[in-house]
Amino acid sequence: MGMLWASLACFAVAAAGGATLAMMYYGQQRRPMPLAVAHGVAATAGFFFLIFGFFRSGSSGLSALIVALFASAAIAGLLLLASHLRKRSWHPIGLVIHGLLAFLGLTLLFARIATENA
């Protein structure tokens, strides 16, 4: 369970960074690269903790769904990073999909940890 808590903490930090980046994007402000890197590093760490946590605590259908959601969010995030590095403008839909998938994954992860502890 410790791994899953660590994963939740990393994802929470990543979510805070991601929300800040999204607000800057919609406010047409320049997004600082260190914040984007911190967001990516926190999310990657969270994903690794999640995988190891589920392997250690035993996986279920819900665990697979959570991993699928975060994996899809990661793919969308990588595509956003690639377009940024190629100096292409982001499609707002891509940003919304990335955020929604990550938010859903985070909510389900929180629910899974809460029900295990109850």
Partner 1 sequence: MRLFGHPIHPPLTHFPIALWIASFACDLVGAAKGNAEWWTMGFWSAVAGLALALPTAVTGFLDYVTLPDRHPGERTACIHMATMLASTGLVLVEVLLRARPGIPFRPILVLVLSGAACVLLFLGGWLGATLVFRHGVGVER
37 binds partner 1 (CB under 8 A): no
> Which range touches partner 1 (CB under 8 A), out of 19-27, 32-40, 70-78, 106-114?
70-78
Handedness of CA 31, 37, 38, 44 (dihedral sign): positive
79 binds partner 1 (CB under 8 A): yes
82 binds partner 1 (CB under 8 A): yes
Residues 45-64 touching partner 1, rule: CB under 8 A, are 51, 54-55, 58-59, 61, 63-64
> Which range touches partner 1 (CB under 8 A), out of 15-23, 74-82, 100-108, 110-118?
74-82
Handedness of CA 101, 26, 85, 18 (dihedral sign): negative
Report the distance separating Cα 76 and Cα 81, nearest Å.
9
Handedness of CA 19, 110, 108, 10 (dihedral sign): positive
